[in-house]
Structure 1
């Protein structure tokens, strides 16, 4: 039986036999080659992003589950959703085989613990989305989570780096990132991990766009909980509403730092009208701004006609 691609030896001169600079180039080339696999999966990534957005719209939960390096990729993406896009922390959960490491110790045997899926299954509801990752596509922990999630009525998004793997067969939305053999054979924290991270970044960012949390390329639903982000939030209000910093900060203060509401207030809405508009358009700032701009254009034209 042939080895899966993620376990194969590299098909070029072994990295440890190369001069240091060439070894560095080989490692970088491996990362770049892995990225081409993501482009081939774009349609599946789009489908996954829409499923994630629908879960958030429907007050369902997005659960990430994986072992080892794949778990670290999942952790990095999951932890960014609340801060970047304002997704409720109650809507996001992350499970790693053996638990999230508090130090550098990430024991390998925990990926064989298929019984841990029962604990995850207890938290799942019909309509939830479960994102399961495994470079090999055969990790017992990941397979058990996918099977348990399907049984509970959750939609399974699976990311694996080997074509035809069992994990992809279990998924409602399979995403195959067919990365080439690693420069260091089997070290899937390299190319496979990079491809997984990029795919997850794309999924969650596209989800944020679908939910209306990105406007003019800016994260308008950001949770501004430090000085840097408070400054960024004020900058977005200034840029989008075309006001000075004092007006932007005043608008933000009026709505306890809610950037979308502050933009509408700075653009001329009362706090009540701003909230009503956002609610009426499912939080999509673009639609609200189009209405405001249209009304302003009509007012200008009416004034011109009167003159």
Structure 2
């Protein structure tokens, strides 16, 4: 039996507890997630490196999943571009049942491998397909992998099942063994939490490896509202130590481009020189600064 479907002896008779007792049992089970994720980090690192290679070569990261796992993929893919300034279409999520499945269960679709294959019809050899399935056997994801394999794309499986049947279909299998759920079969619990942790770690590590941060600061953020404009100003001030007014002037000179303003301030060069260095170094601030220091 799939681990998440088994009865959990640590939550037996949970329905007899008072409210705080129920919550303590749930919390105790949730506390097992970080350790399970930690055990899977070597495989997750391999998945990150695959994604970095594909994205550097112009490819995409394509998530494919159903139910809670698929919804986690949709959220992660939606948040990467505005956070790191990545062009739309580089991180894409395919959810069994489409947009309607984000807010309502369309569970019969996850059993349709043909739909999974059709949804990934545009996959190419330059892409990475990441299958998201707690059970490790979802037919929709199997169909997505079939399309990926036919196209020559790299494939990663993220699952809560150490014995996932689909592990044989992928280049890397990230097994996060969270064990039986608080309520048997409710994979939106520990398995779902682990899925979110793994996806956030995966996409964040990919963006860091691609130079989309400077130190631990998001320098590709798209400032589309007042909150984000304030964040951009704060990031620039923190990274450079410059006064707020100087940062405002640098951002204005850079047309609001945080990476350009940051490079110009840190290298004490003009915007034209900083832009040339950034262009030569694919927008990576550290490398642009190194180039300017050597020139």
What TM-score do you get using the length of structure 1 for normalisation?
A: 0.90
Which of 1 and 2 has greater Rg? Answer: 1
Q: What is the rounded CA distance, in whole Å, between the counterparts of 1:204 and 1:211 in structure 2? A: 11
SS, match of residue 282 in structure 2: coil
Q: What is the rounded CA distance, in whole Å, between the counterparts of 2:253 and 2:14 in structure 1? A: 58
Using a 3 Å threshold, how does the CA distance of structure 1 residues 50 and 178 change in structure 2: closer, same or farther?
same
Q: What is the rounded CA distance, in whole Å, between the counterparts of 2:179 and 2:130 in structure 1? A: 23
Cα deviation code 1:124-172 (max 9, x no counterpart): 1112011110000111101111121111111111101111212222111
Whether contact under 8 Å (2:236, 2:258) holds in the other structure is: yes
Partner of residue 301, structure 1: none
Q: How is 1:7-156 mapped onto 2 (pairs within 5 angstroms)?
A: 7-12=5-10, 13-101=12-100, 104-156=103-155
Q: How is 1:1-307 mapped onto 2 (pairs within 5 angstroms)?
A: 3-12=1-10, 13-101=12-100, 104-267=103-266, 268-290=268-290
Cα deviation code 1:6-51 (max 9, x no counterpart): 1001112232122211110111111111221100011111111122
SS, match of residue 185 in structure 2: coil
Whether contact under 8 Å (1:241, 1:264) holds in the other structure is: no
Q: What is the rounded CA distance, in whole Å, between the counterparts of 2:101 and 2:149 in structure 1? A: 30
Q: What is the rounded CA distance, in whole Å, between the counterparts of 1:60 and 1:258 in structure 2? A: 25
> Where does the alignment leave 5 or more consecutive residues of structure 1 unmatched?
296-307
My pick for the range that moved more, 184-193 or 49-58, is: 49-58
SS, match of residue 288 in structure 1: helix
Whether contact under 8 Å (2:167, 2:173) holds in the other structure is: yes
SS, match of residue 158 in structure 1: strand
Whether contact under 8 Å (1:35, 1:194) holds in the other structure is: no
SS, match of residue 58 in structure 2: coil
Whether contact under 8 Å (2:6, 2:185) holds in the other structure is: yes
